[in-house]
Amino acid sequence: MTKKVVITFSDGSASRPLIYELIKKFDIMVSIIKADIDGGRNGKLVLELDSDSEHIRQAIDFMQTSGVDVTPLEKKISYDDSKCVSCGACTSACPSGALSIGAPDWKLRFQPDKCVVCKLCITACPLKLFHIEFAD
């Protein structure tokens, strides 16, 4: 599984070899999505952690007990419904039933609770109405 997290360093803790520790101690593949470190000491990193769920949980516990603030960054799909023409192309691509069209109005219906963020609708929509959002 992959999980995106925002790491916040304060009190000069950004100088520690955190990414090395995550790889070495927890066997996690770490991708840096965004880095904003002030003078190499304080700031934020957005990381994508790739491993099994238990290793990721242990790594997050380790960072939190080491005085580094860790906030999950969740992905969600949204779309511009004001431009949707209800063509149905995205409903055919959607594997979870989050997107559907039916009676009585035959307009696109989006149920975010069913969405598994597979992103297939992004390429399926001819009007490019879908996009990924990140929220913490």
Q: Which residues bind ligand SF4 (CB under 6 A)?
A: 77, 79, 84-90, 93-94, 96, 98-99, 108, 115-121, 124-125, 127, 129
CA geometry: angle at 33 spanning 27 and 28, to 5°? 5
36/135 with CB nearer ligand SF4: 135
26/79 with CB nearer ligand SF4: 79
Nearest in space to 21 (alpha carbons), one of 8, 30, 12: 30
6/93 with CB nearer ligand SF4: 93
| Cβ atoms within 10 Å, residue 18 | 20
70/87 with CB nearer ligand SF4: 87
94: its two tokens: 């959607």
Supply the minimum distance, in Å, between the C-beta of residue 2 and ligand SF4.
15
Supply the minimum distance, in Å, between the C-beta of residue 78 and ligand SF4.
10
Phi, psi of 110 (to 5 degrees): -115, 125
Supply the minimum distance, in Å, between the C-beta of residue 36 and ligand SF4.
28
In angstroms, the CA 132 to CA 130 distance is: 7
